[in-house]
Amino acid sequence: MHRAPVIPYNAAMVTAQRHTIHRHHYGWDRSFAPVARIAPGESLEFEVPDASGGQLGETSAVGDVSRLDFTKVNPVAGPVFIDGAEPGDVLKITLLSFVPSGWGWTANIPGFGLLADEFTEPALHLWRYDPRILAPALFGRWGKVPLKPFTGTIGVAPAEPGLHSIVPPRRVGGNMDVRDIAQGTELFLPVEVAGALFSVGDTHAAQGDGEVCGTAIESPMRVALQFDLLKQEPLAYPRFRTDGPVTRHLDARGYEVTTGIGPDLMQAARAAVRSMIDLLSRRHGMPAIDAYMLCSVCGDLRISEIVDVPNWTVSFYFPRIVFE
């Protein structure tokens, strides 16, 4: 019950004539030269570095978090030119498989995260996991986190010229950090430039909806994707469809849930997360910073009600399976 189903990686999924994409870049820019060119219907494999771009590794210490160069974070592999893609088209990406590395990191980066004003000191947790079976990964002496690999950043180049930050998500995708853009999902992105110029990065071994401390289990992986093209189909923002249930890896033991209520959704979200941190710290004897990072990798923020003026309800769901 603790293990998420994993489809074994199949090299045949990647077109035999195509190589793995190793090159990566920082930011979005329509002027970047493509590193590969493919036709609709073809597949490629991407070698995706971790979100620190190699600045954090398997032997890093907390002091390394404060030394991060933010011009080198969140690199994405690509870009790839898709033949025939034109503005107004939709690029369909099918996520075929993930080959995880077996290690990852979660950090509290000062100035970043939902409660950045409350957690001002750097923190770092290094993870080890079995990349073959993806058994839940140990979080210190407290619990085990079920894993679900996915890609946090996936998108195409925007029409606006110039270099654009990789950090915020955009109409054409990017750093959306949607946990369910995982194996088997079909993602649809609006194309704004010729060839689409697709890139992918920021792979995670696990993340909660909201990624509240700003990082998930940041983990380098290989990702195999298939590309198809829908000609001149209206699409204002990314959409996706999953191939089945999305939370079975977390649902087996139910949830502890805290809420935040008020006229401001952001403040309600902060209150819900803060209450869960307090609950986990009291119940399990863990430092608040560890509870905060644990919430980021496996707890889910949800808008439970947004119609009962003047107050809205935000809930934070923490899976009990982590401790049971």
Same domain (yes/no): 118, 202:
yes
Task: Report the amino acid identity of residue 210.
Answer: G
- Write the single-letter amino acid at 116: A
Q: Does 223 lie in the same domain as 284?
A: no
Structure pTM? 0.93
Using alpha carbons only, give the angle 293, 204, 100 rounded to the nearest 5 degrees: 130
Q: Please give the pLDDT value at position 11.
A: 41
| CA separation, residue 205 to residues 24, 51, 71, 169 (Å) | 20, 12, 23, 20
Residues 303, 159 share a domain:
no
DSSP state letter for 139: E
Q: Which DSSP letter does residue 21 get?
A: B
Burial (0-12, 13-18, 19+ Cβ within 10 Å), 35: middle
- Identify which of 217, 2, 26, 18 has the alpha carbon closest to the alpha carbon of residue 106: 217
Does residue 217 contact residue 297 with C-beta atoms inside 8 Å? yes
- Please tell me whether residues 253 and 227 are part of one structural domain: no
The beta-strand segments (E) located in 115-233 are 123-128, 137-139, 143-145, 150-156, 173-175, 186-190, 198-204, 221-230
Please measure the distance between the N-terminal and C-terminal CA atoms of the chain and give it in whole angstroms: 11
Number of domains forming the structure of the chain: 2
Among 199, 234, 269, which residue terminates a domain? Answer: 234
List the pLDDT tens digit at each of the 324 positions of the chain.
Answer: 333 334 443 444 444 345 799 999 999 999 999 999 999 999 999 999 999 999 999 999 999 999 999 999 999 999 999 999 999 999 999 999 999 999 999 999 999 999 999 999 999 999 999 999 999 999 999 999 999 999 999 999 999 999 999 999 999 999 999 999 999 999 999 999 999 999 999 999 999 999 999 999 999 999 999 999 999 999 999 999 999 999 999 999 999 999 999 999 999 999 999 999 999 999 999 999 999 999 999 999 999 999 999 999 999 999 999 999
Residue at a domain's end among 192, 207, 234 = 234
Tell me the β-bridge partners of 314: 260, 303
Question: Which two three-digit tokens encode residue 87?
Answer: 């503005």
- 3 within domain boundaries: no
One domain, residues 299 and 159: no
Identify whether 241 is part of a domain. no
Q: What is the CATH number of the domain that holds 193?
A: 2.60.120.580
| Predicted local distance difference test score (pLDDT) of residue 15 | 42
* Enclosing domain of residue 112: 11-234
Rounded to whole angstroms, how far apart are CA atoms 184 and 180? 9
